[in-house]
Structure formats: C-alpha cells, structure tokens
Amino acid sequence: MKHIKKKFLLSLKLEKDAQEYLKTIESDKKVIDNIVKQDFKDYVPHVITEDGSFIQTFKYKRNNKTLFVPEPNPIVIYFSNSQVFLKSLNDSRDELFGDLTKNNDVGNVLNSSYRFFGFASNFVTSLFNALEAFINSQIPNDFEYKKVDKKSTEIFNKEQIQRYIQFDEKIKKVVPQITNKSFHRHYSHKFEILKKFKDLRDKVVHTKADQKTTPNYYQNLFTELLDFDYNQTILTTKEYINYYQENLIEKCDCGQDY
C-alpha cells in the first residue's frame, strides 16, 4: 500500500482568484495582535499554504505566547501509523519464522519475536483507532439515536452514542441511519473481516491471562497475532472509511510505499 496523503480538519483548496486576492491584502499587525490578546472564544484561526490550501488551526498557549497549531485529521494519522507498523510487523514476522526454521542463535529468535509482537500490537491499536475515530466522526452534533423495544424507548445523543453504543451497533445501525448507506449489507464478507479485527483488538487492548490448562498464559493471543491477515484487514478498513467518505484515505503523489 502506498504512502497516504496528509489530511487536516476543515481544509479546502482556494481557487486561483481567491489566492491572488489574498496576496494583495496587507495584514494589520495591530489588529492581529489585538485579536490574539483578547483570545476570542469564537475565533478560529486558519493558515494558507503555498499551494493555496486553507487549513484550520487551534490556539495553544506556551510561555505566555499564543501559537497556532494546524489541526490534523486523527483518522488519517492513525491509519498512516498503522501502515508503518504493517511493514515492520511483516518484516519481523518473516525474520522470526526464518530464525525459527533455520535454528538460528537463540538471541536472534528472542529479538525478532519481541519486535514482531510489539509491531503487531501497535498496528492493531493504531488501525482500530482510525476505524473508531472515523465512525464517531460521522455522528452529527444534533443527531439522536433511538433504541425501541416493546417496553421502552431509549434516546442517545452524540456523546452518549460515542460512549455507550457498541461497535457492531454503530456500524450496523447508527452510521447507516446517518448516511443512508450500509457497508455491512453491501459487503457482508468484508464486514466479517472487520468483526474479526475488532475481536483481535479487544484481546490486545484487554489482555487476559489464561491459566486454566497451561503455563503459556498468552499462547492463544500470540498464535492469533502470528496467523492474522494484517494486509487484508488494512485494505478492508480503508474500503470501509472511503465507502462513507470518498478518498479520505488516498495515496500520496510522492509514490513512496510508506
């Protein structure tokens, strides 16, 4: 998978005439300083890049000075991180199997084993962060989700949906209600991949020791990590995200793999 483009929140590309017009405007330092000092709550600063992109920033205080920090899209950051970990875990898994089958020095086996499981757990958490952040980003501020049965009706606002509605329900009911589109209906086989991924993520994040039958407390988890199809999972996650928000995850023009 190719390296993906950086994305920022609420960014847009200005038309040429708008770019040229802005170049003709001289900034008034006194006015700008006054805005910064008053720190208006409703004031959202933006920056304009050399290629004419208009990007939202947020205000950050450091050493009594106000800084304007570009606000990246966390979904894209998490996904990009998982790409980096994907290459590393694939390489380290190959090294581990190579060291084991060749009966290499035990030190090599220990190192490659440690590297693989570290990269694998980082991949899982990063990619699921991207998936969960994307799902939550689809919920409008004023949206209400109703759960109705014979005895009662529960109404959830945006914050409650994010905190208390389960992952499967968000994918199957909440997001389709909001978007009038349903990934799990159109691509049921791909949805099964996401379900398996969610199950593995839970095992990684909520690691439990199995002491019932063996001193190898984490053998089942480590075995699943060794067997898991990471390549298909990241591709399916990309398809899911882009199904609802076209080209949010898109390859960069630089042509690099990661």
DSSP of 61-91: EETTEEEEEE-B-HHHHHHHHHHHHHHHHHH
Percent of the chain at pLDDT exceeding 90:
59
User: Tokens standing for 45?
Assistant: 């600063």
Instruction: Answer whether 59's CB lies under 8 Å from 39's CB.
Output: yes
57 and 141 share one domain: no
Claim to verify: residue 139 and residue 183 sit in the same structural domain: yes
Q: How far apart, in whole angstroms, are the C-alpha atoms of residue 95 and residue 116?
A: 9
pLDDT range class, residue 58, cuts 50, 70, 90: confident
Shared domain for 42 and 93, answered yes or no, is: no
Boundary residue ending a domain (22, 44, 70): 70
Task: Indicate the burial class of 102 (C-beta count within 10 angstroms; 0-12, 13-18, 19 or more).
Answer: exposed
Q: How far apart are CA 233 and CA 229, in angstroms?
A: 6
Taking the CA of residue 222 as centre, how many other CA atoms within 13 Å lie in the half-sphere pointing to its CB? 14
Q: Among 70, 102, 120, give the residue marking a domain's end.
A: 70
Looking at the fold, whether 145 and 218 belong to one and the same domain comes out as yes
Residue 66 lies in domain? 12-70
Total domains in the fold of the chain: 2
Residue 216: which region, alpha, beta or left (left: phi > 0; alpha: psi -120 to 50)?
beta
What is the distance between the alpha carbons of residues 199 and 86, in angstroms, rounded to a whole number? 18
* Domain-located, residue 32: yes
End residue of a domain, out of 42, 70, 98:
70
Q: How far is CA 120 from CA 6, 89, 240, in A?
A: 23, 6, 21
Do 80 and 50 form a contact (C-beta atoms < 8 A)? no
| One domain, residues 51 and 101 | no
Query: Is 31 within the bounds of a domain?
Result: yes
**What tokens appear for 103 in the block?**
């009966």
Flag whether 156 is in a domain: yes
The answer to whether position 1 is within a domain reads no
What does pTM read for this prediction? Answer: 0.86
- Are 60 and 90 in the same domain? no
Do 162 and 52 have their domain in common? no
Q: Are residues 31 and 134 in the same domain?
A: no
Residues 135 and 223 in one domain: yes
CA dihedral sign of residues 211, 212, 216, 217: negative
240 occurs within a structural domain:
yes
Per-residue pLDDT band for 1 (boundaries 50, 70, 90) equals low
Tens digits of residue pLDDT in 158-216: 999 999 999 999 999 999 999 999 999 999 999 999 999 999 999 999 988 876 767 88
* Count of other CB atoms within 10 angstroms of residue 126: 21
Q: Are residues 107 and 30 in the same domain?
A: no
Q: Please report whether residue 258 resides in a domain.
A: no
Same domain membership, residue 137 and residue 29: no
In a domain, 252, yes or no: no
Point out the least confidently predicted range of 57-61, 210-214, 216-220. 210-214
Give yes or no: residues 91 and 204 share one domain: yes
